[in-house]
Amino acid sequence: MFEHLDDPSPPEPSARTLGAVLARAAHLRRRRVVSAMGAVAVGALSLGVVIGAVASGPTTSQTFAAFDSQTGLLALGTPVPSTDLASVVFVGDLRGFALAVHSTQTVLAVSTDGGGSWTVADPSLPMSFPAQFEFSDAVHGYLWGGPPSSTGIVPLWITANGGRTWTRAGVGPVVSDVSAIGPDVWAVVGTCPISSSAGASCPVLVEISTDNGQTWAQPGAAPPLREDSEVSVSDENIEMARITPSRAYVLSFASRAPAPAAAGSLTYTADGGRTWGSRADPCPSYFDFGEQIAASGTEDLWMVCASQASAGSQAKALYRSSDGGEHWSLAAAANAPVLTGGRVLPSGGGLSSEGYVTPYSLAHENLAVLTTKDAWLFPDRSGVFETTDGGHTWGVVAGLDKSGLVDGGSGNVVFVDATHGWVCEAGSGLWRTTNGKDWERLGP
């Protein structure tokens, strides 16, 4: 009866599809906080099995088979295929850490050759994918942001031995974002456990540790941020951009689509968190579904604002500030009026409406800014875009496409300096540049 309405060539579900579904499920779960945590954790952690089942190409399949055929906890040092990596961080041009999934476990993998090969450093992390993590050096690391406990707690876990063992940090109850510069670690903390229904508006604190996360204190006044306990503290709607050891910005926004609403809140400190001031969030209504902030220096800020997403498209806007957020100017926009209540920003450049910058991104870092001119953007379900003119025009990174990056995936892009960067596409693989221009695919 309705066969004539069918898609003649429907897309086949892939590992990335499953990854996106599980990330959405985790996002929904955070909002609902049901007590049975096992389903999400087990489902998310099982990503690798399905990735292996659906990955294409004999080499990849064989690698997956070898990895996935091992049962139980993986032994330390077990090789991890790059196609199993979910997200990566690097602490230099050679040493990196990655989250991977194996059976029902979330695994920490380590590389000492710039991402060419990976081995298991911890076969069973205390927090499950999609967690966030960061390392400040080869031994000190931080893990947070996974699914909340049945009581709405999202703890921070720290390691002082390269990820082999983890201890729970004395900060909480809900750790939303973490930034470490040397032993100096900052955590954005929600003061109310995540609840299953709209509750009191809760203060947001920034707590600081000067000893690699061992002890924590609040240095001064709390930033002027409050979050609804149901909505955004603990999930991906709050983000810290730490520019120097003493200067940081905390961005808070809520996905309120489709209703227009005030933009998010942006606060900053320039004195190590003793005092906080407010800055205007430049994102206009309808462009505040997903926001990302990044900086290349103490005064140079980039803010990507994104609308509700649909049909593979999303209206986006890029605002720049050269005075630490005092003033903002529109650098480029991509319009999808149906997603912005008809509001159209001057395009003025080449941002793509392709792909999503969303709170439920599989990876949480879609924007990497290196200088006042150079940046990369990796929206979900899209390719990787780069700019070399301060964000006015953007183009697809052709070298990645040519070397096998699948257009339509999800992942993260990270740089440790002006020339060394990595793109991790979950379920697809890992790419590296050593000159900031040319990209090579790494590992099996």
Partner 1 sequence: MAEAVRFEEVFPDLYRLAYRVSFRVLGDRGDAEDVAQETLARTHLRWARLRDSPHGWVVTVATHLAIDRLRRRSRATESGGEPVALVEAHLSERIDIARALGRLPRRQREVVVLRYLADWPELEVADALGCSPGTVKSHASRGLAHLRHQLEERGIRGGRDVRASG
**Residues in contact with partner 1 by the rule CB under 8 A:** 1-2, 4-7, 10-13, 17-18, 20-22, 24-25, 27-29, 32, 34, 36, 39-40, 43, 46, 49-50, 54, 258, 309-313, 336-339, 341-342, 353
Which phi and psi angles does 58 have, rounded to 5°? Answer: -65, -40
How would you list the strands of the sheet with 226-228, edge to edge? Answer: 174-181, 184-190, 201-209, 226-228
Tell me the HSE value of 358 on the side-chain side, using a 13 A CA sphere: 23
Instruction: In whole angstroms, give the CA distance from residue 62 to residue 87.
Output: 22
Tell me the closest approach of the beta carbon of residue 25 to partner 1, in angstroms.
Answer: 4
Tell me the closest approach of the beta carbon of residue 10 to partner 1, in angstroms.
Answer: 6
Residue nearer to partner 1 on the CB measure, 315 or 368: 315
Tell me the closest approach of the beta carbon of residue 14 to partner 1, in angstroms.
Answer: 9
Which phi and psi angles does 340 have, rounded to 5°? Answer: -130, 25
Q: Where are the beta strands (DSSP E) in 344-428?
A: 367-369, 375-377, 385-387, 395-396, 411-415, 421-425
Tell me the closest approach of the beta carbon of residue 99 to partner 1, in angstroms.
Answer: 18
Tell me the closest approach of the beta carbon of residue 148 to partner 1, in angstroms.
Answer: 14
Instruction: In whole angstroms, give the CA distance from residue 71 to residue 88.
Output: 24
Residue nearer to partner 1 on the CB measure, 33 or 131: 33
Residue nearer to partner 1 on the CB measure, 50 or 250: 50
Residue nearer to partner 1 on the CB measure, 72 or 258: 258
Q: Are 42 and 157 in contact (CB under 8 A)?
A: no
Cα–chain-centroid distance for residue 76?
Answer: 26
Residue nearer to partner 1 on the CB measure, 34 or 262: 34
Q: Are 67 and 75 in contact (CB under 8 A)?
A: no
Q: Annotate 260-319 with three-state secondary structure.
A: CCCCCEEEEECCCCCCCEEECCCCCCCCECEEEEEECCCCCEEEEEEEEEECCEEEEEEE
Residue nearer to partner 1 on the CB measure, 313 or 321: 313
Q: Tokens for 188?
A: 């954005």
Tell me the closest approach of the beta carbon of residue 108 to partner 1, in angstroms.
Answer: 22
Residue nearer to partner 1 on the CB measure, 172 or 409: 409
Tell me the closest approach of the beta carbon of residue 33 to partner 1, in angstroms.
Answer: 11
| Residue 133: Cβ within 10 Å count | 24
